[in-house]
Amino acid sequence: MSKRNLFYAQSGGVTPVINASAAGVIQTAKRYPDQIGKVLAGQNGILGALQENLIDTSKERSRAIEGLISTPGGAFGSCRYKLRSFSENRTEYERLIAVFEAHNIGYFLYNGGGDSADTCLKVSQISASMGFPIQAIHIPKTIDNDLPLTDNCPGFGSVAKYVAISTQEAAMDVASMCATSTKVFILEVMGRHAGWIAGASALAANERGDAPHIILFPEIAFDRDRFLKRVAECVERYGYCVIVASEGASTADGKLLSDQGERDAFGHAQLGGLAPLLAEMIRDALGYKYHWAVADYLQRAARHIASQTDVDQAFALGKAAVQAAVAGSNAVMPAIKRTSNRPYRWSIEPVPLSRVANREKKMPRRFITRDGFGITPQARAYFEPLIAGEAYPQYQRGLPRYTRLKQVLVPKRCPSWRKP
Amino acid sequence: MSKRNLFYAQSGGVTPVINASAAGVIQTAKRYPDQIGKVLAGQNGILGALQENLIDTSKERSRAIEGLISTPGGAFGSCRYKLRSFSENRTEYERLIAVFEAHNIGYFLYNGGGDSADTCLKVSQISASMGFPIQAIHIPKTIDNDLPLTDNCPGFGSVAKYVAISTQEAAMDVASMCATSTKVFILEVMGRHAGWIAGASALAANERGDAPHIILFPEIAFDRDRFLKRVAECVERYGYCVIVASEGASTADGKLLSDQGERDAFGHAQLGGLAPLLAEMIRDALGYKYHWAVADYLQRAARHIASQTDVDQAFALGKAAVQAAVAGSNAVMPAIKRTSNRPYRWSIEPVPLSRVANREKKMPRRFITRDGFGITPQARAYFEPLIAGEAYPQYQRGLPRYTRLKQVLVPKRCPSWRKP
Could you say which residues from 297 to 326 on chain A have a Cβ atom under 8 Å away from some Cβ of chain B? 297-298, 300-305, 307
* pLDDT range class, residue A265, cuts 50, 70, 90: very low
Cβ pair B244, B212 in contact under 8 A: yes
Burial class (CB in 10 A: 0-12, 13-18, 19+), A119: buried
The stretch A20-27 carries a mean pLDDT of 98
Nearest to A114 by CA among A192, A61, A60: A192
What is the greatest pairwise CA distance in chain A?
73
The Cα B203–Cα B198 span in angstroms is 10
Report angle CA B237, B242, B248 to the nearest 5 degrees: 135
Cβ pair A16, A306 in contact under 8 A: yes
Query: From the CB of residue A268, how many other CB atoms can be counted at a distance below 10 Å?
Result: 12
**pLDDT value at A263 more than 70:** no
Task: Find the closest chain B residue to A166 by CA distance.
Answer: B298
**pLDDT value at B266 more than 50:** no
Amino acid code (one letter) for A301 = A
Got the DSSP string for A60-101? S-HHHHHHGGG--S-TT---------TTT-HHHHHHHHHHHH
Residues contacting residue B362 through CB under 8 Å, at least 6 positions apart = B146, B193, B194, B195, B218, B219
Distances from the Cα of A418 to the Cαs of A94, A122, B77, B178, B183, in angstroms? 13, 21, 62, 19, 22
Q: State in Å, rounded, how far the first CA of chain B is from the last one.
A: 35
Q: How many CB pairs under 8 A join A and B?
A: 219
Task: Find the closest chain A residue to B397 by CA distance.
Answer: A388
Q: Do domains A4-142+305-359+391-400 and A156-301 have the same CATH topology?
A: yes
The stretch A88-111 carries a mean pLDDT of 93
- State ipTM: 0.96
A401 touches B: beta carbon within 8 Å: no
The Cα B379–Cα B363 span in angstroms is 9
Task: Find the closest chain B residue to A380 by CA distance.
Answer: B397
The Cα A16–Cα A303 span in angstroms is 5
Residues contacting residue A42 through CB under 8 Å, at least 6 positions apart = A7, A8, A9, A10, A48, A49, A53, A54, A55, A76, A77
Residues contacting residue A308 through CB under 8 Å, at least 6 positions apart = A388, A389, A390, A391
- CA B174 to chain A, closest CA, distance in angstroms equals 8
The stretch B235-253 carries a mean pLDDT of 96
Give the pTM: 0.97
The stretch A4-16 carries a mean pLDDT of 97
The stretch A119-146 carries a mean pLDDT of 94
Higher-scoring residue by pLDDT: A2, B149: B149
So what's the pLDDT on residue B262? 52
Report angle CA B102, B104, B105 to the nearest 5 degrees: 110
The Cα B214–Cα B241 span in angstroms is 8
Nearest to A360 by CA among A155, A244, A219, A215: A219
So what's the pLDDT on residue B73? 97
The Cα A352–Cα A149 span in angstroms is 10
Residues of A in contact with B181 (CB under 8 A): 79-80
**pLDDT value at A272 more than 60:** no
Amino acid code (one letter) for A9 = A
Residue B361 exposure: Cα atoms within 13 Å on the Cβ side: 20
Instruction: Please enumerate, as own/partner, the contacts of B249-256 that have beta carbons within 8 Å and a separation of 24 or more.
Output: B249/B216, B249/B217, B249/B218, B249/B222, B249/B274, B250/B218, B250/B221, B250/B222, B251/B221, B251/B222, B252/B221, B252/B222, B252/B223
Looking at the annotation, which residues of B are catalytic? 144
**pLDDT value at B1 more than 50:** yes
Q: State in Å, rounded, how far the first CA of chain A is from the last one.
A: 35
In chain A, what are the domain boundaries?
4-142+305-359+391-400, 156-301
Cβ pair B100, B66 in contact under 8 A: no
- Min mean pLDDT across A17-21, A83-87, A305-309, B298-302 is at A83-87
Encode burial over A179-195: b for 16+ CB neighbours within 10 A, e otherwise: bbbbbbbbbbbbbebbb
Residues of A in contact with B45 (CB under 8 A): 180
- CA B376 to chain A, closest CA, distance in angstroms equals 18
Residue A63 exposure: Cα atoms within 13 Å on the Cβ side: 3
Residues of B in contact with A75 (CB under 8 A): 176
**pLDDT value at A166 more than 60:** yes
Tell me if B72 and A47 make a contact (CB, 8 A cut-off): no
So what's the pLDDT on residue B259? 78
The stretch B140-148 carries a mean pLDDT of 97
**Cα dihedral B88/B90/B96/B97 (nearest 10):** 150
CATH architecture of B4-142+306-359+391-400: 3-Layer(aba) Sandwich (3.40)
Burial class (CB in 10 A: 0-12, 13-18, 19+), B1: exposed
CATH architecture of A4-142+305-359+391-400: 3-Layer(aba) Sandwich (3.40)
Residue B212 preceded by cis peptide, ω within 30? yes
The Cα B4–Cα B371 span in angstroms is 55
Average pLDDT, chain A: 94
* pLDDT range class, residue A259, cuts 50, 70, 90: confident
pLDDT digits (tens, 9 = 90+) for B92-116: 999 999 999 999 999 999 999 988 9
Query: From the CB of residue A238, how many other CB atoms can be counted at a distance below 10 Å?
Result: 17
Q: Per DSSP, what are the bridge partners of residue B187?
A: B244, B293
Mutation for testing the A interface, residue in B183, B189, B284, B298 having most A CBs under 10 Å? B298
Task: Find the closest chain B residue to A242 by CA distance.
Answer: B297
Cβ pair B291, A296 in contact under 8 A: yes
**pLDDT value at B267 more than 80:** no
Amino acid code (one letter) for B14 = V
**pLDDT value at B175 more than 70:** yes
Q: Out of A291, A294, A301, name the one closest to residue B169 (CB).
A: A301
Tell me if A176 and B75 make a contact (CB, 8 A cut-off): yes
Distances from the Cα of A94 to the Cαs of A49, A189, B310, in angstroms? 11, 39, 58
Tell me if B387 and A398 make a contact (CB, 8 A cut-off): yes
Cβ pair A38, A56 in contact under 8 A: yes
Residues of B in contact with A302 (CB under 8 A): 166, 169
So what's the pLDDT on residue A268? 46
Higher-scoring residue by pLDDT: A312, B262: A312
Residues contacting residue B52 through CB under 8 Å, at least 6 positions apart = B99, B102, B412, B413, B414, B416, B417
Average pLDDT, chain B: 94
* Chain mean position to CA B76: 16
Q: Is B87 helix (H, G, I), strand (E, B) or coil?
A: coil
- Min mean pLDDT across A327-331, B27-31, B136-140, B270-274 is at B270-274
Residue A270's φ and ψ, nearest 5 degrees, are -65, 130
Nearest to B191 by CA among B156, B148, B243, B154: B156
High-pLDDT (> 90) share of chain B, %: 86
Query: From the CB of residue A282, how many other CB atoms can be counted at a distance below 10 Å?
Result: 24
DSSP state of A390: B
Nearest to A15 by CA among A190, A243, A272, A233: A190
So what's the pLDDT on residue B357? 80
The Cα B298–Cα A167 span in angstroms is 8
The Cα B233–Cα B394 span in angstroms is 44
The Cα A253–Cα A259 span in angstroms is 12
pLDDT digits (tens, 9 = 90+) for B303-340: 999 999 999 999 999 999 999 999 999 999 999 999 99
Tell me if B73 and A384 make a contact (CB, 8 A cut-off): no
Q: Per DSSP, what are the bridge partners of residue B320?
A: none
Cβ pair B57, B39 in contact under 8 A: yes
**pLDDT value at B265 more than 80:** no
The Cα A74–Cα A76 span in angstroms is 6
Burial class (CB in 10 A: 0-12, 13-18, 19+), A281: middle
Tell me if B164 and A399 make a contact (CB, 8 A cut-off): yes
So what's the pLDDT on residue B272? 54
Q: Give the CATH number of domain A156-301.
A: 3.40.50.460
The stretch A395-411 carries a mean pLDDT of 97
- CA A75 to chain B, closest CA, distance in angstroms equals 7
- CA B328 to chain A, closest CA, distance in angstroms equals 31
So what's the pLDDT on residue B4? 97
Higher-scoring residue by pLDDT: B355, B359: B355
**pLDDT value at B271 more than 50:** no
Cβ pair A55, A42 in contact under 8 A: yes
